[in-house]
Structure 1
Amino acid sequence: MLTPIALNLPHFPFKLVREKDKLLIFDELRKKHLVLTPEEWVRQHWIQHLIRDKAFPKTLIQSEGGLKLNSLQKRTDIVVFDHGGRRMLIAELKAPSVKITQAVFDQIARYNMVHKVPFLVVSNGLQHYYCQIDFEKESYIFLKELPSYTELIHVK
């Protein structure tokens, strides 16, 4: 049985239930209970952090969004859209036991070849990295923290 560990994110009052030998967590976006894996624990914290702390509209956040990459079906952990329906942020999330390595950054970079979003988040719940992409200059910068939704939509 998984015992959720403390993450380097604010604590939120999650709805956890036991079903037979599994612990489930309620996903506010998908409106259903999901098996609580370590990665799901991180994803649910990030969803709540975006909504409650960074003022991201819940209706503009997609969890486990699909994408096609070299004819393979992949899933992006979190995609955030602007009010015009354009993707503006993707997040690649790992379980706390997974080290954030170059391979993780390579994975989100491959996903961003499809999405072409200006902001990336990489996190295992303990370490977080925020990156802003400048497509015109073909460069990127790491940010000290993730801006709020209002700040992100005003970045050029």
Structure 2
Amino acid sequence: MQDLNFPKFSFRLKNSENKISIFDCIRKKFVVLQPEEWVRQHCLMYLMEVKGYPNSLINIEKELIVNDLKKRYDIVIFNTDGSIHLIVECKAPSITINQQTFDQIAQYNQVLNATYLMVTNGLNHYYCQMDFVNERYDFLRDIPDYSL
């Protein structure tokens, strides 16, 4: 897999029937290593090891209903009160982040009401803070570190 614009992390990999899998410490299982999964796992490690978010507040690939359609978010981080702090949308490195990507995460956020949004393809990362009063998002340099 290609190098990404994240710090170097150690991952547990295994090869079974000519398929490489990576261990997901949140789902507590090996998952097939696809390019998007490579980005998701790097992002998870970044959020936990660099930003300090506890794995107990992180949820991966759960279903939600958006405009009567079943969708799956990549990563959600909860606040301790159960509200949603951050939604992360991960794309494969070959996918260009564009307005459609932001529209996708904005649709998810109409349901989830997260304070922060992150979109990444592993090479480029975009961070936003929601301004619910003015119904827009403001770009940030980074998401905040975890704090109680």
Q: Could you say which TM-score interval applies, normalised by the shorter chain?
A: over 0.9
Identity over aligned pairs, percent: 50
Query: By how many angstroms is 1:138 displaced?
Result: 2.1
Q: Which residue of 2 aligns with 1:97?
A: 94
Tell me the SS of whatever aligns to 2:73.
strand
Cα distance in 2 for residues equivalent to 1:31 and 1:38: 19
My pick for the range that moved more, 134-143 or 82-91, is: 134-143
Deviation at 1:135, TM superposition (A): 0.6
User: Root-mean-square deviation (CA), in Å?
Assistant: 0.9
Alpha-carbon offset, residue 71 of structure 1: 1.6
Q: Which aligned segments of 4 or more residues in structure 1 are displaced greater than 6 angstroms?
A: none
Counterpart Cα distance in 2 of 1:136 and 1:85 = 21
1:113 paired residue number: 110
TM-score w.r.t. structure 1 length? 0.92
TM-score (structure 2 length as normaliser) = 0.97
Task: Give the structure 1 partner of residue 18 of structure 2.
Answer: 21
The AA in structure 2 aligned to 1:13 is S
Q: Distance in 2 between matches of 1:82 and 1:9?
A: 24
Query: Residues 5-47 of structure 1: CA distance to partner in whole angstroms, max 9, x if unpaired?
Result: 1000011110011001100000000100000000000000011
Give unpaired runs (5+ residues) of structure 2: none
User: 2:25 & 2:32 partners in 1: Cα distance?
Assistant: 14
Aligned length: 148
